[in-house]
């Protein structure tokens, strides 16, 4: 009796129902499978399956529509993914192309500047030689440039230096392969000029600030704003008719003997990169000077 009660306690334990449930499910599966294969297409199980499919189809379609962009994006990212080595290779090539583009752009700008110089030189009656700026002063007090032409190229001390916009300065030192040019904006520079409209004479001087001041102009020949100043040829330092700049401000107080006139160069002197050095006058000008 005691052994029987012990067996009954084991049979009703919490885990004893799991094998029975498994057996029941297996038997039910076998019964359903048997019925499924024995009934026709119009049987109850087939009908139930068709009903479930009909009810679930709209939900499946909606789910597919919602997830399509996500799946497409994932596919795109998967297709476009590159390895780190490929990325570095592409970046290196891109950097080289950028450097090449910058070089070509610089060459293009230089060619444009040189073309302007050539056109200007062809339009003048001067014998010139092109030169590149290779040096600038380290301090702001001295306004000069160093160019890559010297005595072996025909450059002489005192030669005028011009650009497409007008006068740049004058050669003050010469070596075999280079020359130092004092700019017209230097405080030690002085250029005899004519006011193109009034024909009044004066002297354009530089300043510490880099401005151009027109001195010694008679009040009856006073210029107006935007009047053009050209070299007068007096003193022989510069040929006549080279544009020096244009007037920007005029003040003529009664107490002053001469008007105060400020001018500006048409040449971007502080940023200039190529110039023309006058190495001699054309034969026609030499003949005219001799007369």
For 227-279, the pLDDT digits (tens) are: 999 999 887 788 888 899 999 999 987 777 888 999 999 998 888 899 999 98
Same domain for 142 and 31, yes or no, is no
Same domain for 259 and 154, yes or no, is yes
218 vs 73, more confident: 218
The CATH number linked to 225 is 2.40.10.340
Does residue 8 carry a pLDDT above 50?
no
Mean pLDDT of 80-97: 66
8-state DSSP, 248: E
8-state DSSP, 256: -
Cβ proximity of 223 and 197 under 8 Å: yes
Q: Print burial letters for 45-60: b (CB count within 10 Å at least 16), e (below 16).
A: eeeeeeeeeeeeeeee
288 within domain boundaries: no
Same domain for 168 and 272, yes or no, is yes
Same domain for 132 and 55, yes or no, is no
Four-point Cα dihedral 281, 285, 290, 291, nearest 10 = -170
Same domain for 149 and 53, yes or no, is no
Mean pLDDT of 66-74: 60
C-alpha angle 73-78-82 in degrees, rounded to nearest 5: 130
DSSP β-ladder status, 166-174 and 243-251: unpaired
What is the total count of domains within the chain? 2
52 vs 221, more confident: 221
Rounded-to-integer distance, Cα 274 and Cα 164, Å: 10
Does residue 66 carry a pLDDT above 70?
no
What residues form DSSP beta bridges with 182?
A: 144, 170
Which residues does 263 contact at the CB level (< 8 Å), separation at least 6?
204, 212, 213, 214, 229, 244, 245, 246, 247, 248
Same domain for 144 and 260, yes or no, is yes
Residue 179 sits in which domain range? 127-281
φ, ψ for residue 266, nearest 5 deg: -85, -5
Does residue 113 carry a pLDDT above 50?
yes
Cβ proximity of 127 and 280 under 8 Å: yes
Query: Residue 210: left if φ>0, alpha if ψ -120 to 50, beta else—which one?
Result: left
Please report the pLDDT score of residue 34 as a whole number: 73
Cβ proximity of 229 and 193 under 8 Å: yes
Mean pLDDT of 43-72: 63
Same domain for 43 and 178, yes or no, is no
Same domain for 49 and 158, yes or no, is no
Same domain for 153 and 275, yes or no, is yes
Q: Which of 24, 49, 64 is the last residue of a domain?
A: 64
Confidence of residue 291 (pLDDT cuts 50, 70, 90): very low
Confidence of residue 36 (pLDDT cuts 50, 70, 90): low
Mean pLDDT of 175-182: 96
71 within domain boundaries: no
140 within domain boundaries: yes
Query: Residue 6: left if φ>0, alpha if ψ -120 to 50, beta else—which one?
Result: alpha
Mean pLDDT of 106-122: 59
Please report the pLDDT score of residue 223 as a whole number: 92
174 within domain boundaries: yes
273 vs 11, more confident: 273
Rounded-to-integer distance, Cα 279 and Cα 156, Å: 7
User: What is the end-to-end Cα distance of the chain in Å, rounded?
Assistant: 157
Q: Any idea which of 3-17, 111-125, 147-161 has the lowest mean pLDDT? A: 3-17
| CA proximity to 125, closest of 272, 266, 288, 269 | 288
Same domain for 276 and 163, yes or no, is yes
Please report the pLDDT score of residue 96 as a whole number: 66
Does residue 9 carry a pLDDT above 90?
no
pLDDT 10s digits, 187-198: 999 999 999 999
Mean pLDDT of 160-186: 93
Mean pLDDT of 206-219: 90
113 within domain boundaries: no
Does residue 111 carry a pLDDT above 70?
no
Whether pTM > 0.75 for this model: the answer is no
Confidence of residue 73 (pLDDT cuts 50, 70, 90): low
The secondary structure of the chain in percent helix, strand, coil, rounded to multiples of 5, reads: 45, 25, 30
Does residue 226 carry a pLDDT above 90?
yes
Q: Supply the mean pLDDT for the chain.
A: 76
275 within domain boundaries: yes
Confidence of residue 20 (pLDDT cuts 50, 70, 90): confident
């Amino acid at each position: 009796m005691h052994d029987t009660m012990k067996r009954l306690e084991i049979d009703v334990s919490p885990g004893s129902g799991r094998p029975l449930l498994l057996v029941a499910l297996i038997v039910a599966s076998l019964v359903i499978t048997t019925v499924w294969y024995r009934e026709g297409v119009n049987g109850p199980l087939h009908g139930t399956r068709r009903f479930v499919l009909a009810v679930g189809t709209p939900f499946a379609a909606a789910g597919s529509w919602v997830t399509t962009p996500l799946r497409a994006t994932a596919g795109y990212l998967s297709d476009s993914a590159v390895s780190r080595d490929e990325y570095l290779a592409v970046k290196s090539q891109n950097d080289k192309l950028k450097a090449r583009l910058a070089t070509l752009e610089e060459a293009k700008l230089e060619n444009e500047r040189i073309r302007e110089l050539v056109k200007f030189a062809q339009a003048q009656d001067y014998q010139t030689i092109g030169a590149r700026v290779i040096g600038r002063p380290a301090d702001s007090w001295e306004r000069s440039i160093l160019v890559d032409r010297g005595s072996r190229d025909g450059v002489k001390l005192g030669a005028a230096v011009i650009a497409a916009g007008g006068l740049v300065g004058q050669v003050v030192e010469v070596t075999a392969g280079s020359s130092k040019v004092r700019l017209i904006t230097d405080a030690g520079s002085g250029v005899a000029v004519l006011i193109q409209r009034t024909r009044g004479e004066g002297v354009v001087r530089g300043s510490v600030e880099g401005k151009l001041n027109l001195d010694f102009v008679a009040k009856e020949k006073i210029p107006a704003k935007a009047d053009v100043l050209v070299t007068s040829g007096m003193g022989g330092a510069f040929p006549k008719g080279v544009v020096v700049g244009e007037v920007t401000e005029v003040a003529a107080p009664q107490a002053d003997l001469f008007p105060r006139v400020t001018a500006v160069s048409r040449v971007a002197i502080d940023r200039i990169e190529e110039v023309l050095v006058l190495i001699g006058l054309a034969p026609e000008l030499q003949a005219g000077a001799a007369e």
